[in-house]
Amino acid sequence: MALEDAKNEVDVAFGGRGPRGYAYENAFAGATSFLRRRYTKDLTGVDLAITGVAFDQAVTNRTGTRFGPRAIREASTLQPYDRPFGWGFDPLEELTVVDYGDLAFDYARTAEFPARLTAHVAGILAAGAGALTLGGDHSITLPILRAHAAVFGPLSVVQFDAHSDLWVDDDPGRIDHGTFMYKAVKEGLVDPARSVQVGIRTDTPDWLGMNVIDARTAHEQGPAAVAARVHAIVGHHPTYLTFDVDALDPAFAPGTGTPVWGGLASWQAAAILRDLAGLNLVGGDVVEVSPPYDPSGITAVAGAHVAYELICLYGWRRRKE
């Protein structure tokens, strides 16, 4: 850490030294943008926009993920001092990353929410930036996939999750975090043959052709084998990565709405994500962080680390190109 900078920097989210580089203000003070990136609605020259979606009105059990984006941003203040371990490059120096703020929506008009979110993400993509979303419950991924598929066509999806979210739901008016992937496949947004779900440990009547690496397989075969299989399935196809924090075992992420035992450990998730370097990642999200159920904040810390890894994955392929 540059001690002189730490002594003099504060609220760099509203100014600072420029759109790139590290931030050294005290982790416990200042405006909590993600990784202390600049808050802005100007996407000129931006590589990646971080945006929050504080929506949790589609959950089957415990609410609270509306507070996820705020908690993840706060947890991320521990990270912007130096480059992420193990990657060998400086994403905050090589990419222009900004915090685009949160989606505005009327909480009392739930039916209008999906289209509003799709338009929000579509605007980011139209400006030439990538979008990384902090949720929110997992229902938000469906509107986001609609925006991405409109640009890239049917996507490969890498989904870290305890649940497949493939429960049958043919009612277009329903918004449900347990059925978003069913609808995404049925709408042709996702190519299931080139997609994979990692960490699954709940049953599903119909997998709709999705590839599955369940939690036990991940434990027995190890992170390197899991990542290799993901690469083999996805190839170089445009890929969206969605990370439901309940992919982690409740011991590592208790702050979530539908926890299931037997999940991934934090070290396993970190190793898999780093071994996914080279994916043609076009977007991603971190969802289901519910701070009210985790006073320690370790779930938000996990969410912040996952989001930083997604920045690295997004930047890795672009720097190679």
Question: Residues at the annotated binding site for Mn(2+)?
Answer: 138, 161, 163, 165, 244, 246
Secondary structure, 3-state, 59-99: CCCCCCHHHHHHHHHHHHHHCCCCCCCCCCCCHHHHCCEEE
Looking up tokens 């370097």 gives 277
- Of the candidates 259, 61, 293, the one whose C-alpha atom is nearest the C-alpha of residue 176 is 61
Residues 6+ apart with CB under 8 A from 116: 103, 105
Residues 6+ apart with CB under 8 A from 266: 248, 252, 302, 305
Check: CB of residue 181 under 8 Å from CB of residue 140.
Answer: no
Dihedral Cα 37, 41, 42, 45, nearest 10 deg? 50
Instruction: Give the residue numbers of the binding site.
Output: 138, 161, 163, 165, 244, 246
